[in-house]
Copies of this chain bind each other. A is one copy, B any other.
Amino acid sequence: MAPAETKALLFDVFGTTVDWRGGIIRAGRELEQRRGSPAPEGVDWAALADAWRAEYRPSMERVMRGELPWTNLDGLHRASLEGLLPRFGLAGLGAEEREFLVGAWHRLDPWPDVLEGLRRLRRRYIVAPLSNGNVALLTNMARRAGLPWDLILSAEWVRRYKPDPATYLLLPRLFSFDPKQVMMVAAHPDDLLGARRAGLRTAFVPRPLEFGPEGTAPPPEGPFDVVAGDFVDLAERLGAPAASG
């Protein structure tokens, strides 16, 4: 059950709200079709997606340790892609093709329960992403997918990446809410533990397909206030009404 005083829900995006792996694979195949010349043995786009995502955390840590100046996620994605292309036989990609792949992170699809769940939750709570994705990325994604956010919250606003407490405290500070009145929703225990350290409530939603059909998603184990099957189930558990006027 939701604490009665919950006022806002913050959602992790990559993996929790949208399927980054499927979206990157799809973009890779679109790129091959656009080129009209698939690589001789074909490109393993699933492996490229996994390798690209594996650079995500280390690249943000370089920023947080001060080894890189502030760089938003588009910039980090761009830099890490450069390092990966030769390994996948793609060193010959032109600048426009590289930008097409970097932009694929703006064009990810939500999991099937997301739109209904968010629409319901929004009737009762302020709903916002709280993502390491940059503001333009999250805005473009929301416009394309129809994600009904009330506002776009991003690590970019505070120039600190999750799990820095400044990210989780952004909404409580802007709205003068107690952190306990805000709940972080994620498929990743480390994100929820960061939110919990900042005083927020937490909801775990498993995404068993985040890392592909053979991948391993984290189990719903941890000191979470709520564990829900998906966003629609979360709406049920938090008392957010089904459709009406």
- Residues on A lying within 8 angstroms of B by beta carbon are 126, 134-136, 138-139, 142-143, 150-152, 156-157, 174-176
Q: Which residues of B contact A175 (CB under 8 A)?
A: 135-136, 139
Q: Which of B139, B142, B143, B176 contacts A136 (CB 8 A)?
A: B176
Residues of B within 8 A of A156 (CB): 174
In the complex with contacts A157-B157, A174-B156, A139-B150 CB distance below 8 A: yes
Whether the Cβ atoms of A150 and B157 lie closer than 8 Å is no
Q: List 21 A-B contacts (CB under 8 A).
A: A126-B139, A126-B143, A134-B174, A135-B151, A135-B174, A135-B175, A136-B174, A136-B175, A136-B176, A138-B151, A139-B150, A139-B151, A139-B175, A142-B150, A143-B150, A150-B152, A151-B151, A151-B152, A152-B152, A156-B174, A157-B157
- Chain B contacts for A150, CB-based, 8 A: 139, 142-143, 152
- Cα–Cα, bound, A61→B151 (Å): 27
Other contacts beyond A135-B174, A143-B150, A150-B152: 10, CB < 8 A? A126-B139, A134-B174, A135-B151, A135-B175, A136-B176, A139-B175, A151-B151, A151-B152, A156-B174, A157-B157
A170 to B, closest residue via Cβ: B135
A150 to B150, CA, bound (A): 8
Look across to chain B and name the residue whose beta carbon is closest to the beta carbon of A122. Answer: B143
CA distance A174 to B72 in the complex (A): 10
| Chain B residue nearest to A174 in the complex (CB) | B135
With A and B bound together, what is the CA distance between A175 and B138 in angstroms? 11
| Alpha-carbon distance between A53 and B191 when the two chains are bound, in angstroms | 43
Distance in angstroms between the alpha carbons of A219 and B11 in the assembled complex: 45
Query: How many angstroms between the C-alpha atoms of A151 and B176 in the bound complex?
Result: 20
